[in-house]
Structure 1
Amino acid sequence: MLTDIKASAYTMLDIHTDCVQIAGRFRNGLDSLTHIYTTDHNLPTPSREETRTNQFAHEHAYNTIRTLYNSASSEAEKNAFGEAMRSLPFNKMLYPDGTKNYFAIDNDTNDKLMAGSYHDSERIEALYYSCNMFRPSCMGYNYPLEIFNHLQLEGSKMTVREKRKKMAACLSEITEPLSEFDMDYINEMRKVDSLLIEAYELLGLDAIKEMNYSQKRMNEAVILKQMKGNKTTKLVKNSFKVGNKYKCTEIVSELTRIFELLNIHPHKTIRGETIQYYFDATPCKIGKKRERGYYLTAELL
């Protein structure tokens, strides 16, 4: 039995009903039955009483809108209140004629309680021990998927480099060959920092650490590794950004570095105005010394 609440809520199994029925499908009996499941500390854990109170609140809201619907003074108002009624959660707990469907209400209660049981492994274990149909033996593994929530929540408190160091430490724990769970783990991390994962897949962790998690250096290395597109243009765009001002000396130094990196030998001498091959750039003066430079207004390529 497999429950992956990250992949689908429909894989949640009720220990006292679903798991018992699954075991019962094996007519000749079983020596053992394994339930592999994930947990999520963000899941709400309402009691039965709290769930029923919440349902009563939804019922009250539904009845209030229904009163307004029945009292509507125009067809437009009636249609608007009708749409609101149909969108309310309690509408799913009614028969087509508007009477309560107590079976649907009970199902909603049980679904809420079952979902809450996957908040942590202690709750699942308690349910197995309370079920007379099983003699459970439990073991767990804390896979650090929760790190993504922490990294996203603490993003404003952490520098990009600190965040990448933590993520690299997690990636270092993964060994080849990758399991499907490992791949899901990496894809979750990709949502936090897509460049780091791309660099990890193309260059490896050692290279990332050598670059000290630098955005520019990682981007540059990834571009060089990918054998497609115009590398020169991509590297220039990686070094220069629209909306910024650059001194002519800075432009010459960086373009020279990029051309040498790609073993390119331009026919003309590299000058500050060379940046105009790649950007719509306006001449300007920069700093107290009023040094010549360019203000980049748009990409040309």
Structure 2
Amino acid sequence: MLKERVVKIHRGEYLSDVLSREGFVALPTNCVINKMLPGLGATYCELTSLRKSIIVEPNVPVIVDKAKKHDHTLAVHKGGMVQHVADFLEKNKKHHYKILTTPESFQKVKDAMTELQIDMYSECFMLFDECEKLVQDVDYRDTIREPMNDFFQFRSKAMVSATPILANDGRFEEHGFRILRIEPTYDYKKKLRLITTNNVCESLVELLGQLRLNNRSRVCIFVNSIDTIDSLFIDIPELENSYTFCSEESTFKLWKAGKRKKSIYIDELMPFNFFTSRFFSAVDIISNVSPHVIILSDMYGAPQSAIDPATEAIQIVGRFRKGVRSITHISSIRPSLEYRSEKELDSWLEGADRIYNGWKDALKRSKNDGERTLLREAMLGNSYLPYLDQDDKPDPFLIANLYEAEKVKVLYTNQSNLYEAYRTTRFFDVEFTPELHLFSDEDRLALHRQRTRKGRFALLLMRFEELEKLRLNPAQKAQDKYHHLLTRLIRSKDDRTLYECYEKMGSGFIRDKIDFNLRAMERFIDRQNDHIIKNSGPMKHLIHSLFDEQTLYSKSEVSAILTQAYKKQGLFVGKTIPSTELKRWYHVETIRKDEYDRVKLLKKND
């Protein structure tokens, strides 16, 4: 356990003020700085310090943004060349240069230093910013911890975050690390509304309505799933012109899904903006209008969108240096989500480690080829292997990630767990609102996942049946809800055809008589519509105006007049309309005159 020192920060102060008061000229070395609040200027302290620095930031947008604002500063990331770094070092060797790099590009910095015979360990201060990412992201981003072996070799080094998570790495104690906690003397709690729901999409729609947005409003939605973002575009037409800020890989995925506005850099906020996890921390989001911040956790569509209230939620709110108008977290709750408790993880890791090392010992002792083959097969294909480092030792960052991930999972199995997690952060003043909708996330996603028209029709028909109670309820609130949900369900001309057929003939006809056949529905609706038009008042008036009861008509004349009347009313006409159709509007008889059959109009039908 690292020793902790607590220092106070007062309202209006920045980290530089605190450090100066405590006798530090810059960020202290061998220290994890827990600044508790985002936006206190920790990175700024290092960028303006009178020493050469290497600053590791978790994502590209952060380093690009900060490098633009400071002299003698270089952003190193994917696509950059070692020679580019070397040229920068040569040019700025007499300055207090600052190199901002992603963890993955740190090797380029190291190679450039080696090429120029610079001892970076003694010449530079190394700062690892937003250090919780070392633990939180290492499971899917293995390279994020690559600089750590070098980090501990620097003579001067530190980590910083408003929400630090430390791995149980013995090197912290070995190098005399301590924690410097910056504790505010003022109330810094932010109001947050927590909405737990069975349908994140419907809750989002309702929230957007409650926010009373106008042309100047800005809404920023943070969700760690491109699939969820894309599904919201499908379900909520109002979000069609949203901007999505995400990684290069995700921009391609959105491009494949359609013409979506997306970027890897934040330039200007649109009325609606989506942000994936690379924008949860470090980067500053500048807006002249204080935005409404919405955090979305879609536990049925994307379990990876679970947000840790104690770290990620705090970091998200901290992106906006000029403040926000409101903060809301909308989350589904998934009781069936599997997780392991801390005690279960302790037991599993202990047992796995014992068995794995037993295999290693047996391999050393064995001379039998069969034994050695099976032992190697077991050692190279087991579930403990992902938690070992390159030296075959338990990796402290991967193991810390496992504990953190399971700890977050349990929050989303019960709404009380999530509420309590927010309440205990000390960062939020929580208003809790549980919501229950007629259709759930599972219902919504089932429609998205259907790949056949018949399958979609079968699901939609069940939804139409479930809406009947609302349709038959005369209360205005029920009617409004009915029309709202119906609008959400009907997304295409085919969906509209299904609903029209359902209204006219019921679900039994669609399921049992025509087996969801779209062409059969269209033909039936056309016949029904023709019947309605033919029996309408305007059609009756038109026919009566075209015929004279004092005139005898040939059958071909009757057919020609009816054909024109049908076309005028927008009815489908084949070759001609038979003269017998006139019986809809007149009592008629056929008489013989001048050796030809004539149609005589007796009287109008009632």
- TM-score band, normalised by shorter chain: 0.5 to 0.7
Matches within 5 A, 1:156-167: none
Work out which of the residue numbers 51, 63, 79 in structure 1 matches 2:345. 51
* 1:175 aligned onto 2:485: yes
Return the index of the structure with the highest Cα Rg. Answer: 2
Q: Deviations over 1:140-179 (max 9, x none)?
A: 222443776xxxxxxxxxxxxxx9996554465662432x
Give the aligned partner of residue 130 of structure 1: 424
Q: CA deviation at 1:72?
A: 7.0
Q: Deviations over 1:20-44 (max 9, x none)?
A: 1112222233343211221211112
* 1:222 aligned onto 2:532: no
Q: Share of identical aligned residues, percent? A: 18
- Going from structure 1 to structure 2, the CA distance change for 1:170 and 1:23 (only over 3 Å counts) comes to same
Tell me the secondary structure at the aligned position of residue 485 of structure 2.
coil
In structure 1, C-alpha distance between the alignment counterparts of 2:330 and 2:502, rounded to whole Å: 36
Gaps of 5+ in 1: 149-162, 187-198, 228-301
Tell me the secondary structure at the aligned position of residue 135 of structure 1.
strand
Contact 2:300–2:442, Cα closer than 8 Å, also in 1: no
* 1:40 aligned onto 2:350: no
Contact 1:5–1:12, Cα closer than 8 Å, also in 2: yes
Tell me the secondary structure at the aligned position of residue 35 of structure 1.
strand
Contact 2:379–2:385, Cα closer than 8 Å, also in 1: yes
- Going from structure 1 to structure 2, the CA distance change for 1:216 and 1:110 (only over 3 Å counts) comes to same
Tell me the secondary structure at the aligned position of residue 49 of structure 1.
helix
Give the aligned partner of residue 87 of structure 1: 381
Q: Of Structure 1 and Structure 2, which has the larger fraction of its residues in helix?
A: 1
Give the aligned partner of residue 16 of structure 1: 310
Give the aligned partner of residue 506 of structure 2: 210
RCO (CA 8 Å, sep 6+): is it higher in 1 or 2?
Answer: 2
Q: CA deviation at 1:137?
A: 0.8
Aligned length: 199
Give the aligned partner of residue 248 of structure 1: none
- Going from structure 1 to structure 2, the CA distance change for 1:64 and 1:168 (only over 3 Å counts) comes to farther
Q: CA deviation at 1:62?
A: 3.3
In structure 2, C-alpha distance between the alignment counterparts of 1:84 and 1:165, rounded to whole Å: 51
Tell me the secondary structure at the aligned position of residue 384 of structure 2.
helix
Q: CA deviation at 1:99?
A: 1.0
Contact 1:165–1:213, Cα closer than 8 Å, also in 2: no
Give the aligned partner of residue 25 of structure 1: 319
Give the aligned partner of residue 397 of structure 2: 103
In structure 1, C-alpha distance between the alignment counterparts of 2:498 and 2:388, rounded to whole Å: 57
In structure 2, C-alpha distance between the alignment counterparts of 1:164 and 1:176, rounded to whole Å: 10
In structure 2, C-alpha distance between the alignment counterparts of 1:136 and 1:205, rounded to whole Å: 45
Tell me the secondary structure at the aligned position of residue 422 of structure 2.
helix
- Going from structure 1 to structure 2, the CA distance change for 1:215 and 1:72 (only over 3 Å counts) comes to farther
Work out which of the residue numbers 433, 455, 462 in structure 2 matches 1:139. 433
TM-score, scaled relative to structure 1 = 0.53
In structure 2, C-alpha distance between the alignment counterparts of 1:28 and 1:164, rounded to whole Å: 45
Tell me the secondary structure at the aligned position of residue 21 of structure 1.
helix
- Going from structure 1 to structure 2, the CA distance change for 1:133 and 1:92 (only over 3 Å counts) comes to same
- Going from structure 1 to structure 2, the CA distance change for 1:210 and 1:18 (only over 3 Å counts) comes to same
In structure 1, C-alpha distance between the alignment counterparts of 2:465 and 2:354, rounded to whole Å: 51
Matched AA of 1:107: N
Matched AA of 1:177: T
50-59 or 165-174: bigger deviation = 165-174
Give the aligned partner of residue 239 of structure 2: none
Matched AA of 1:54: W
Q: CA deviation at 1:14?
A: 0.8
- Going from structure 1 to structure 2, the CA distance change for 1:213 and 1:36 (only over 3 Å counts) comes to farther
TM-score, scaled relative to structure 2 = 0.28
Q: Deviations over 1:96-115 (max 9, x none)?
A: 11011122111101101101
Matched AA of 2:297: T
- Going from structure 1 to structure 2, the CA distance change for 1:29 and 1:207 (only over 3 Å counts) comes to closer
Work out which of the residue numbers 114, 117, 120 in structure 1 matches 2:411. 117
Tell me the secondary structure at the aligned position of residue 351 of structure 2.
helix
Q: Of Structure 1 and Structure 2, which has the larger fraction of its residues in strand?
A: 2
Q: CA deviation at 1:47?
A: 2.6
Q: CA deviation at 1:128?
A: 0.7
Matched AA of 1:121: Q
Tell me the secondary structure at the aligned position of residue 96 of structure 1.
coil
